């Protein structure tokens, strides 16, 4: 995502993350200068919201698919409700409850797959905490070629400093 923000700064002639954030705010986009600066610095550790990814795509003037791929977040399809048959509203309450239960079960599976595929985790001793390996941001070249992947993780050098191994 940092590469997309750098491209947005170039396109918008913004000299800083604050300038780009102010521009985003004026355009009604869900992106602040704080988020931009954290992403550019590599210190943004949250899973970005879809509105944030959409804002980055708009500013960088790329298709949303490119920004979602860069963020390592699956892009949502068309609204599920739009695909339901026209008479779905005629279902009885117990039928609706069953359908909703099945959908929730599938969503639970999808979320479990995303968390195991996207960011490997390890238990931190007996503290009950989970340590997540933060994915490295893809380069513009990775994004444009479609090589940006959610499963890429930051590697650590033997001296303990973060970064890529050579």
State how far the Cα of 12 lies from the Cα of 7, in Å rounded to an integer: 9
pTM of the model: 0.54
What pLDDT shows up at residue 10?
Answer: 97
- Give Cα separations from 157 to 54, 74, 95, 145, 162 (angstroms): 34, 30, 55, 27, 6
The predicted-structure confidence for 64-95, as pLDDT tens digits, reads as follows 999 999 999 988 888 888 899 999 999 999 99
Residues 115-139 have a mean pLDDT of 53
The pair of three-digit structure tokens given for residue 135, joined into one six-digit string: 């994915």
Mean pLDDT of the chain, nearest integer: 80
Name the band, by pLDDT with cuts 50, 70 and 90, for residue 147: low
């Amino acid at each position: 995502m940092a590469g997309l923000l750098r491209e947005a700064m170039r396109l918008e002639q913004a000299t800083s993350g604050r300038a780009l954030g102010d521009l985003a705010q004026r355009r009604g986009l869900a992106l602040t200068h704080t988020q931009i600066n954290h992403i550019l610095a590599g210190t943004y550790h949250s899973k970005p919201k879809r509105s944030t990814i959409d804002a980055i795509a708009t500013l960088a003037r790329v298709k949303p698919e490119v920004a979602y791929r860069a963020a390592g977040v699956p892009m949502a399809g068309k609204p599920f409700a739009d695909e339901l048959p026209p008479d779905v509203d005629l279902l009885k309450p117990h039928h609706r409850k069953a359908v909703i239960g099945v959908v929730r079960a599938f969503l639970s599976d999808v979320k479990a797959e995303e968390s195991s595929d996207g960011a490997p985790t390890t238990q931190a001793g007996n503290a009950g905490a989970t340590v997540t390996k933060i994915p490295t941001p893809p380069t513009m070249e990775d994004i444009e070629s479609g090589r940006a992947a959610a499963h890429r993780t930051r590697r650590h050098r033997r001296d303990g400093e973060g970064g890529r191994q050579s």
